[in-house]
Amino acid sequence: MTFFCLWGGFFLHKYVNPADQSDFTTRPQAVYSIQIGAIQEDWFEKPITTTHDRQWMTPEYPMRYVALSLLILANILTTACTNPKQITPTGGNVLLLFARDVTDECEPMADLTTGSLRPRNFQEAQNILRNAAADMGANALLFEVFVPGQEGTGKALRCSPEYVAGYERERTIQDDNQAPINRYEVQAETVLDPSERILWQRCSYGQYADQNQCRGASAPYNWRSALNYCKTLTLQDKRWRLPTVDELRSITERVRNSGILINSTAFPGTRASVYWTSTLYEEKNNVIWVVDFENGQSFGYGNQNMGYVRCVSDDTQSAEEE
């Protein structure tokens, strides 16, 4: 497969790239007007006005069909070479770390990226980066950013054996139905966290509170839509906003409850997926911190992707009085 991709890339660059073909310079519109799935009609119907045009349009020299065939082949090669059907995980012994796990006991070795591979989901991005870290002798990966279908980034680390052993013991998650300690004051539509002095929307966007449960299907938003939803939310006549990454991290639990790392009594119907925060990732306007309640971790996430929404309010006065 690797040989096929390399050969195809060379062939297409050699024979399709119009910048390298002087014969094409007299009809640049004939080459650049080709769009896979949307071919412009005028390319086929342009009147013959020059000797070169007549040569181009004759059956003996059907370059328009050759060019079209090669561009379709380019599309197939791009898909085949950048979207592998399966990525074999070989870096299973590489410890997976996230931002709040950073410690002086781990030394950075190299920045990593998925490169031309386009991970379709978090697991694929994780496998690609852990494989790369393992190849260079690292024993840990700091996972940083994931943009589905585009890129994943991280850092290869060399951590002390003592840190690796201690981390694995500490992060062991108990898969049982033990209810977490309830530090919240739960109402029908809101949840007060007295320790943080903030009020949470109990149900995710798309759901509604009914008989101490969240009914309906939660719906994902892109980041800007999530910001706008919380800004315009009028629940209990309060002002709402997206939580910061620290605020959203604060409601993750260490014990899995109903399949997720959150108190499912206080926050029923929470998805085992990523939820948006308002915090930019390293001041990048197109990458935002998210918290994943499936694994309790947080990382950077492209703002055009889809994530779930739970808003927060600083107006806790009425809730505290009750």
Give me the pLDDT at residue 171, please.
Answer: 65
CATH 3.30.110.70 domain span(s) along the chain = 95-172
Q: Residue 199 pairs with which residues in a beta bridge?
A: 192, 313
pLDDT band with cut points at 50, 70 and 90 for residue 99? confident
- Give the phi and the psi of residue 265 in degrees, each rounded to 5: -75, -45
Whether 203 shows a pLDDT value over 90: the answer reads yes
Tokens 């007299």 belong to residue? 26
CA distances from 118 to 124, 129, 249, 285, 287 (A): 9, 12, 28, 21, 17
Cα–Cα distance for residue pair 269/266, rounded to 1 Å? 10
The answer to whether the CB of 274 falls within 8 A of the CB of 287 is no
- Report the candidate in 247, 269, 253 with the shortest Cα–Cα distance to residue 203: 269
Q: Please report, to the nearest 10 degrees, the dihedral formed by the alpha carbons of residues 217, 222, 225, 229 taken in order.
A: 40
Q: What is the pLDDT of residue 154?
A: 95
CB atoms inside a 10 Å sphere around CB 189: 14
- With 80 as the cut, is the pLDDT of residue 288 above it? yes
For the chain, residues classed under CATH 3.10.100 are 175-321
Architecture of domain 95-172: 2-Layer Sandwich (3.30)
Quick one: pLDDT band at residue 177, thresholds 50, 70, 90? very low
Question: Quick check: 29 pLDDT over 90?
Answer: no
Among the residue ranges 55-59, 165-169, 288-292, the one predicted with the least confidence is 55-59
| Count helices and strands in the chain by DSSP H and E runs | 10, 16
Assign a CATH topology to domain 175-321.
Mannose-Binding Protein A; Chain A (3.10.100)
